Each structure stands twice: as structure tokens, then as C-alpha cells.
Amino acid sequence: MSGPEPFGARLRRAMDTRGPLCVGIDPHAALLAEWGLNDDVAGLERFSRTVVEAVADRVAVLKPQSAFFERFGSRGVAVLEKSVAEARAAGALVLMDAKRGDIGSTMAAYAESFLHPDSPLFSDALTVSPYLGYGSLSPAVALARESGTGLFVLALTSNPEGGEVQHAVRADGRSVGATMLGHLAAENAGQTPLGSFGAVVGATLGDLSSYDLDINGPLLAPGIGAQGATAADLPAVFGPAVRNVVPNVSRGVLRHGADPVALRDAAERFAEEIRTAVAAV
């Protein structure tokens, strides 16, 4: 009996049919205020429901930021559970942005929270931090393979502080970031049409030709829109790996406020710009 279809295959199909775009759901206090919503559970629920109803039936990936829900306690997590379920029911893949990272049974529990099919927060993929050592992610890797889900590992992030860890050079001469990419390439070896273990690589980092981004897996690329990168920048940053890039846009879509049509139009515009840029390579 065959297991669930791997995340990488599902992601490749979603990107090819819906366009290579990930829209973030980031209900922080300032954005709730811009939408004319209170910074409370009711505002959180209205915000999340509006985004899901506007774009979940047309974008490849939705990425809720768990922290903005967790700050409201159990009621906020309940909103997150509902948003995840409704987004998946509408056909979007849900990438939970929780950046979990720990060791042993604790890492296993984090993985079960988001990647076990019986969990109320069951998502298609999860962001994780490998900076307790890549091997600390083993429980999450194992569960992802079993459940047909995926991981996005922090590798070359766009925040300026990340460089002090990710660009540090190991005794073997490789940077820490390059080492993470190498681990992911090994995880994805032989997988078709795309591996399920991706890297987070900022779209604002400029020329990355010194790194081997061909990990046979997806590259989640934050930085499009409000952080200054554009769709047209992607080929120069990611080179031949650009076809596997999943650009993340949050503010660029969400700033259009509580109008579902405006949100939908913005998401479709970004998706088309990205599709055009990738097709030109």
C-alpha cells in the first residue's frame, strides 16, 4: 500500500497550476489597525477569514505566522486551527511558519503538533531552525517523510543578523549556510518531480552564485514587495534554481486591506509577475 503523496510533488503541481506564490498571513497589531480591526481575537478571526476566503482557492501556498495567533492564547490558536483547515479545504497548501527547533523528544513533539495528520494544526509543511545542529531535525524529517509533508529549513535568511551564524565558516571551509543546503540536497536526492525538504533563502541577498542552490527541493524566498525585492530580481539571485523558488509576499498583498477583491487582485498580480520572470530564464 502506497503512502501519502509527498509534499514536493504536491507543491510542484500547485506551483505549475496556480503560479509560484506564497502569501503570508501575518496579523500583527499594526496591520490589524490598518484594516480597521481591533487587536483582539475578533479582529484576528476577521482578518484571517478574509485572507483565506480571498486567496486560498487560487494561490499555491498560504503561510500563517504562528506567533501572531499564539499571542492570543488558546483562542488565538483556535483561530489558527480553523484558518489552516479552511485554507487546505480550498486547495491551498499551508506552510506553518513556526520556525521550531529543539532536540530529541521535544523536536518530535513540535513536529507532531504541525505534521501529524491527527493534529488540529496539521499543515502541509513547517519552517524549522537547524541551529542546534542539522541532526536535531531528524524527528521532523522522519515524520515529514511518513506523513507526506515538508520542511523549510532556515539556510540563508534575509535578516542582517543571520549572517553571523549562516556565513560562519566551518573547519572544512564551508559556510554554515552552505552546509545546510548540502544536507537538504542529500534529503532530496532522487526525488521527482521535486523533493519535500526546502530551504529558506532571502530574495534580497543579491548574487548567490557562490552557493549551490540546486537542492532538488523548493526555496522559500521572503523579501518580495515591502522588503524591496521584485519578481524581476529572482533570476539574478537564484540562477538556474529559480524554477523551484516559492516567493513569499505578505505585506505586498495584505496592505490592500479588508477588501477581498483587492487582496485577490494583488495576489494574482504578484503570481503573474513571478511566473513571467521565471519563464524568461
Domain spans of the chain?
A: 7-279
| Mean of pLDDT over the chain | 95
Rounded CA-CA distance 105/111 in Å is 10
- Residue 115's nearest CA partner among 203, 4, 206, 278 is 4
In the predicted structure, residue 51 carries a pLDDT above the cut 70 = yes
Crossing angle between the packed helical segments 73-89 and 41-55, to the nearest 10 degrees = 10
**Mean pLDDT score, 225-243:** 89
Rounded CA-CA distance 24/20 in Å is 13
Check if the beta carbon of residue 59 is closer than 8 Å to that of residue 82: no
Which residues neighbour 137 within 8 Å (Cβ) at sequence distance 6 or greater? 101, 107, 128, 130, 151, 153
- Residue 229's nearest CA partner among 219, 240, 237, 220 is 237
Q: Is the peptide bond before 193 cis (omega within 30 degrees of 0)?
A: yes
Query: Could you tell me the end-to-end alpha-carbon distance of the chain, in angstroms, rounded to an integer?
Result: 40
In the predicted structure, residue 59 carries a pLDDT above the cut 60 = yes
Kindly report the pTM of this predicted structure: 0.97
pLDDT band at 46 (very low <50, low <70, confident <90, very high): very high
**What is 7-279's CATH topology?**
TIM Barrel (3.20.20)
Which residue in the block uniquely carries the three cell numbers 511566473?
Answer: 275
**Mean pLDDT score, 175-182:** 97
At residue 155, the 3 state secondary structure works out as strand
At residue 117, the 3 state secondary structure works out as coil
pLDDT score at 229? 84
Tell me which residues are annotated as active site: 99
In the predicted structure, residue 1 carries a pLDDT above the cut 60 = no
In the predicted structure, residue 61 carries a pLDDT above the cut 60 = yes
In the predicted structure, residue 3 carries a pLDDT above the cut 70 = yes
Rounded CA-CA distance 8/258 in Å is 32
pLDDT band at 226 (very low <50, low <70, confident <90, very high): low
Check if the beta carbon of residue 247 is closer than 8 Å to that of residue 21: yes
Q: How many CB atoms lie within 10 A of CB 279?
A: 9
Say how far residue 267 (Cα) sits from the centre of its chain: 16
Q: Taking the C-alpha atoms of 79, 80, 86 and 89 in order, what is their torsion angle to the nearest 10 degrees?
A: -150
pLDDT score at 228? 77
pLDDT score at 141? 98
**Mean pLDDT score, 13-25:** 96
